[in-house]
Amino acid sequence: MKQQPTNHDLTRCAWANSHPLLQQYHDEEWGVPVHDDSLLFMYLLMESMSCGLSWLLMLKKKEIFRTCFANFDYKVVATFSTDDIDQILSTEGMIHSERKVKAMVENARAFCQVRKEYGSFDAYIWSFTKGKSKQYASHQQHPCVRNTLSDHVAKDLKKRGFKYVGTIIIYSFLQAIGIINDHEHTCFRYSKD
């Protein structure tokens, strides 16, 4: 009987090998197409909060974010007042950037506006690729941190009032939610589809 490979035997994207949280995120979440607005808001919030910080730190603080930002409920976050922001900033373990926390509240409001216009954030974000995941063969030889798609999406989000959504952050967001499939061709999660 053939033995199934263990988590340690798997060949994965190089960036995921340095920490167990990164491995778990890579193996279970990264690049899996996301169509649930609550999850899309969670990833957008975490990517925006990561500006200037590591993704590993974001994963370590995910449950703190969940607590501070109403279980990633964009409708609730959109109603946050200055008192709510002050409470978030006083939370132990939270990233203490008033500008970022205020921006997340503004992003929740912009997120709700997009939902009003498109029916869902999912319909909006996936419209940039007509509902398809994109795989760029050139990224296998030359990994990148942005491209014309992330430039376009970032520009549109900024126009709609989103903050901390530069092209590099948005490229990472698009990877996270499966719009861009950037698994290395040697990775067990790589798919030619």
CA distance 150 to 161: 16
142 is in an annotated binding site: no
Q: Contact, 187 vs 11, CB < 8 A? A: yes
Give me the catalytic one of 30, 47, 126, 164: 47
Residue 8 marked as a ligand binder: no
- Annotated binding residue at 51? no
Is residue 29 part of the annotated active site? The answer reads no
**C-alpha closest to that of 165 among 142, 139, 146:** 146
47 catalytic per annotation: yes
Angstrom distance (rounded) from CA 59 to CA 26: 11
Q: Which of 55, 124, 126, 164 is catalytic?
A: 55
The active-site residue, picked from 25, 74, 126, 164, is 25
Residue 51 tokens read as: 């500006």
Q: Which of 95, 55, 52 is nearest to 43 (CA)?
A: 55
Would the annotation count 96 as a binding residue?
no
Please name the residues in contact with 60: beta carbons below 8 A apart, sequence gap of 6 or more: 21
d(CA 18, CA 161): 35
Is 126 catalytic? The answer is no
CA atoms 141, 142, 144, 149: torsion sign: negative
Q: CA 86 to CA 144: how far, in whole Å?
A: 37
The residues assigned a catalytic role are 25, 47, 55
Binding-site members for Zn(2+) are 13, 26, 183, 187
Binding-site members are 13, 26, 183, 187
